[in-house]
Amino acid sequence: MTEKVTDLLHFFDEKQFQQDLIAWFKKEQRTLPWRENQDPYRVWVSEIMLQQTRVDTVIPYFERFMNLFPTVEALANADESDVLKAWEGLGYYSRARNLQSAVREVAETYNGIVPNNPKQISELKGVGPYTAGAILSIAYDIPQPAVDGNVMRVLSRIIGIWEDIAKPSARKTFEEVTRRIISDEDPSSFNQGMMELGAIVCTPRSPSCLLCPVQEHCRAFAEGSQEELPIKSKKKAPRPVPIAAIALENNEGKFLIRQRPEKGLLASLWEFPNVELTEGGLKENQLKHHLQDTYEINPKIEKELSSFNHIFSHLKWQLTVYKGSFIGHIDHEKVRTVSKNDLQQYAFPVAHQKIVNLILEGDETD
Ligand code: SF4
C-alpha cells in the first residue's frame, strides 16, 4: 500500500461503505440477462459487449449471441463469419475476434473451463485488467478490482481522488484503492454495486446525490465538488476522413461488395466499394477512377444517395454515398456481386449497413 492511498483512505470507513453499497445493490439492481446466474462464460461475453457500448444496446445482442453460442464449446467451434454476423452493428469488431480466439484457447487448454486464476485469465486474448477483475469477482467471488472509466468516476468522487483518469497511470491508484476497500465476503456484489452506482446514480453529469446510498461516505458530496470530479483531460478530436462510397448495381441487379483486409480497422468485414478522397478534384471522378483501377470495370455514377458521418475513437468517416451501375459480374473470394436479399448474409460495419438499408428500402430508386 503506497502512502498516497493510505492518506486518501485515512478517514474512510470501508466496512460500513461495503454494507451500504451491497445492501443497496441487492435491493435496487436492474434485471439484466447476464445477471441470471454466475456462469463465467456469460459474464465474460457480457463484459466484452459492454465495453464502449450502452446496456440497452447490448441486451438484444447478448440474448441473441447466447442463443447462437450458449457455451464455450459452441463459440469455439463456430465459424468466424457467423460470430461477426452476430456482432454486426455493435462495433469494435476486434472484440468479437479476440473473444472467439480466447474462448478457443479456453476450450483447448483449460478443458472448456474459464480459468479462475488471475495470471491465466489475464493471458487470454482481449482480456485486460478490467475484464479479468470482472470475471474473477462476479463469477468466482474472488476479491479483485474491476476498474473502468465508470468506476474511476465514482471512486474519484467518493474518495476525493484528483488524478487525471485519462492518464493510464491513474488506473493503478484506483486499483489500489479498490483492493483496499473491496468486500472479501461478497466481492461480486461489491464490484457490481460500484458499476451499478455509476450507471444509475453517480452518472457523469448531474449525479443523483440526494438519492445516493453511499452519500454519507462521499467526500465530493461533503465538499460540493461532485460536478468537478473526475478530472479528465480531453482526448484529441477524431481525424476527419472524407470518403466516397457506392451502391454499384450490375446488369443482373446484383451489388458489388468486397471484404476488408484481415488485419486493421474493421478487419474481415464486408463493405461497398469506397475511396478516401483527396483534396481537389470532383468526388465522382475520384470514385470513378478508383472503381476503374481497382475492379477493372467501367462504372456509371448515377446520383448521390445520402451523406452521413460515422465516428470511431480516432477517426471520423465523412461518407458521401452514390448509386451507380456497371455491366459485368465479379465472383472472387474477397470481391463479389450479390443480390439484394443475399446482402443480409454478410457482416457489414455500421456505416455500410446503412448503405444496405438504403438499398433494401429502395431509396436508391427514388
Ligand atoms: Fe456520486 Fe453524489 Fe453519491 Fe457521491 S454522493 S457517490 S457524487 S452520487
Regarding the beta carbon of 229 and ligand 1, being less than 6 Å apart is answered no
Which stretches of the chain are DSSP H helices?
3-8, 14-28, 40-50, 55-68, 72-77, 80-87, 94-109, 118-122, 129-140, 149-155, 170-181, 187-200, 219-223, 283-295, 350-360
Considering the domain 3-223 in this protein, what is its CATH number?
A: 1.10.340.30
255, β-bridge pairs: 249, 338
CA distance 301 to 304: 9
Residues with active-site annotation: 47
Q: What is the pLDDT of residues 291-325, one digit of tens each?
A: 999 999 999 999 999 999 999 888 999 999 999 99
Task: Report residue 355 as a C-alpha cell.
Answer: 448503405
Pocket test for ligand 1, best of 157, 194, 211, 225 (most atoms within 8 A of CB): 157
- Identify the band that residue 152 occupies on the pLDDT scale cut at 50, 70 and 90: very high
Regarding the beta carbon of 212 and ligand 1, being less than 6 Å apart is answered yes
Q: How far is the CA of 21 from the centre of ligand 1 (A)?
A: 12
Question: Which residues belong to CATH 3.90.79.10 in the chain?
Answer: 239-361
DSSP-derived 3-state class of residue 183: coil
* Backbone dihedral angles phi then psi of residue 324, each to the nearest 5 degrees: -155, 180
Question: Which residues belong to CATH 1.10.340.30 in the chain?
Answer: 3-223
CB 117 within 8 A of CB 109: no
Task: Report residue 107 as a C-alpha cell.
Answer: 476450450
- Identify the band that residue 94 occupies on the pLDDT scale cut at 50, 70 and 90: confident
- Residue 363 scores a pLDDT above 70: no
Q: How far is the CA of 56 from the centre of ligand 1 (A)?
A: 23
Rounded to two decimals, what is the model's pTM?
A: 0.77
Task: Give the CATH number of domain 239-361; options: 1.20.272.10, 2.60.40.1840, 3.90.79.10, 3.90.190.20.
Answer: 3.90.79.10
Q: How far is the CA of 228 from the centre of ligand 1 (A)?
A: 12
- The protein residue with its alpha carbon nearest to ligand 1, atom 2, reads 209
Q: What is the pLDDT of residues 218-270, one digit of tens each?
A: 999 999 999 999 999 887 889 999 999 999 999 999 999 999 998 888 988 99
